[in-house]
């Protein structure tokens, strides 16, 4: 593959390098774009490192391609988001290009290219790409930005690579330092791991290397012991979920994003990992949407005893709020029932919930009682009887009321 031809065949790249030449500044394309290109993949994110004129070029390309201009890192990095969602980052070089690459995280991301020099690979990143390993450029770089500790597992999960032995040993040693990174950035990296179909292998590595317990519980010893049990359940449950991905509809559902780039598969994993713990006490910054989703799943699972009687199923669905389909996967796994059957019952629950045979006024009139908690309890029991199939019509509901409450 002719890398130079491939890079310059992209109209964005061609324009950027041409503009940099006109402004008489050195420029290199670096990082993940080069990594993906060398693997024969297309990347929508491009990182450019420049000696000068960084903001000038970023603003010019914003105007030229009708993008959105964003200032990052105290005017050290400028991002341009194009209409096709392609992201272009323009940053100042940290000294020479070799010095800049020396300060990066992993060898496979410490590769650069420019029209003048072509490929620059001082740390044998291409060799590590071929060997499919994640290796730190320099161990001390992990401490310069502790987020790189969790990022190693995220990149390994996305690429299906192995973390080099020495690098992994230091990830374990430095794991307590993760808490120095911003919780928003930790959450972004961790959610990418959780949403990856093959992430459980790397979640296990994070756990064994004490990275997971730092992220979730700040190494609270009591919670560490409980987490080991949750990890065991997650491993077994994930094998079940992988089988569900064979069904296109199920796979599409599990891959659908909830919030913060976390999909339903990732949400289920997170609900297992955080079982019995308040999400507000962990080292993540989760949206209100995800926080509520976790509470709904946990509330439903607290009721579950492993049996799938109509009565229990109704109570679980009732406690699960908007997450009855997510909890259906857990119920199908625990009870060894067909997931489609549980989904069918979930749909029946929703139909019953949205179709009211009798309202509170009806109950008060038929039983000649005053408004209050009793009316609410009667209505809840009535809905349960509908779910169980003992009541189907308004007339049957009235008869049931008179038979049971007079």
Task: Give residue-wise pLDDT tens across range 138-149.
Answer: 999 999 999 999
Phi, psi of 27, deg, nearest 5: -145, 145
Residue 288 belongs to some domain of the structure: no
Task: Count Cβ atoms below 10 Å from residue 227 Cβ, excluding itself.
Answer: 22
124 plus 136 within the same structural domain:
no
What residue numbers bound the domain in which 188 lies? 132-255
20 within domain boundaries: yes
Residue 234 buriedness (CB in 10 A; 0-12 / 13-18 / 19+): buried
Helices (H) and strands (E) counted in the chain, each on its own, are 22, 11
Residue 44: what are its φ and ψ, rounded to 5°?
Answer: -90, -5
318-345 pLDDT, tens digit each: 999 999 999 999 999 999 999 999 999 9
314 and 227, same domain (yes or no): no
Does residue 124 share a domain with residue 5?
Answer: yes
In a domain, 268, yes or no: no
Q: Do 162 and 103 share a structural domain? A: no
The closest of 115, 126, 158, 130 to 27, measured between CA atoms, is 115
Q: Are 387 and 309 within one domain? A: no
Asked, for residue 9, whether it belongs to a domain, the answer is yes
Please state whether beta strands 133-134 and 162-163 pair in parallel, antiparallel, or not at all (unpaired): parallel
Indicate which CATH number applies to the domain containing 80.
Answer: 3.30.460.10
Evaluate whether residue 263 is within a structural domain: no
Residue bearing tokens 């005053």: 370
Domain annotation covers residue 271? no
Q: By C-alpha distance, which of 257, 238, 251 is closest to 198?
A: 238
- Asked if 70 and 100 sit in the same domain, the reply is yes
Closest CA to 125 of 104, 145, 94: 104
| Pair (144, 237) in one structural domain | yes
Question: Are residues 368 and 349 part of one domain?
Answer: no
**What is the chain's pLDDT, residue by residue, as a tens digit (406 residues)?**
589 999 999 999 999 999 999 999 999 999 999 999 999 988 889 999 999 999 999 999 999 999 999 998 777 899 999 998 899 999 999 899 999 999 999 999 999 999 999 999 999 999 999 999 999 999 999 999 999 999 999 999 999 999 999 999 999 999 999 999 999 999 999 999 999 988 999 999 999 999 998 888 765 666 677 788 899 999 999 999 989 988 999 999 999 999 999 999 999 999 999 986 665 556 788 999 999 999 999 999 998 887 788 889 999 999 999 999 999 999 999 999 999 999 999 999 999 888 889 999 999 999 999 999 999 999 989 999 999 999 999 999 999 999 998 7
Q: Specify the number of domains making up the chain.
A: 4
**Ranges assigned E (strand) in 343-402:** none
């Amino acid at each position: 593959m002719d890398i130079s031809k491939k890079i310059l065949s992209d109209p964005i790249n061609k324009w950027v390098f041409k503009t940099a030449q006109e402004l008489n500044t050195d420029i290199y394309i670096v990082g993940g774009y080069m990594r993906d290109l060398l693997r024969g993949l297309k990347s929508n994110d491009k990182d450019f490192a420049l000696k000068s004129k960084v903001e000038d070029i970023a603003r010019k390309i914003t105007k030229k391609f009708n993008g959105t201009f964003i200032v990052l890192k105290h005017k050290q990095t400028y991002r341009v988001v194009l209409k096709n969602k392609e992201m272009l980052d323009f940053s100042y070089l940290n000294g020479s290009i070799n010095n800049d690459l020396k300060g990066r995280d992993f060898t496979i991301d410490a590769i650069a290219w420019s029209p003048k020099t072509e490929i620059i690979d001082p740390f044998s990143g291409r060799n590590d790409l071929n060997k499919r390993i994640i290796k730190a450029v320099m161990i001390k770089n992990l401490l310069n930005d502790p987020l790189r500790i969790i990022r190693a597992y995220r990149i390994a999960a996305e690429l299906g690579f192995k973390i080099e032995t020495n690098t992994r040993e230091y990830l374990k040693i430095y794991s307590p330092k993760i808490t120095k990174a911003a919780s928003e950035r930790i959450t972004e990296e961790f959610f990418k791991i959780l949403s990856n179909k093959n992430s459980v292998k790397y979640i296990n590595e994070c756990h064994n290397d004490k990275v997971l317990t730092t992220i979730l519980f700040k190494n609270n010893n009591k919670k560490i012991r409980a987490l080991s049990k949750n990890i065991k359940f997650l491993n077994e449950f994930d094998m079940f979920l992988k089988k569900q991905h064979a069904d296109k509809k199920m796979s599409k559902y599990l891959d659908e994003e909830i919030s913060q780039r976390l999909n339903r598969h990732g949400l289920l994993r997170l609900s297992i990992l955080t079982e019995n713990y308040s999400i507000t006490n962990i080292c993540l910054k989760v949206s209100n949407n995800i926080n509520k989703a976790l509470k709904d799943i946990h509330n439903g699972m607290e009721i579950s005893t492993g049996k799938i009687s109509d009565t229990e199923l109704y109570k679980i669905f009732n406690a699960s709020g908007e997450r009855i389909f997510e909890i259906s996967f857990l119920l199908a796994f625990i009870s060894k029932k067909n997931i489609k059957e549980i989904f069918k019952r979930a749909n029946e629950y929703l139909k019953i919930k949205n179709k009211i045979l009798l309202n509170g006024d009806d109950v008060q009139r038929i039983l000649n009682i005053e408004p209050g908690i009793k009316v609410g309890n009667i209505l809840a029991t009535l809905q349960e009887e509908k779910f169980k199939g003992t009541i189907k019509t308004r007339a049957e509901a009235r008869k049931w009321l008179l038979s049971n409450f007079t």
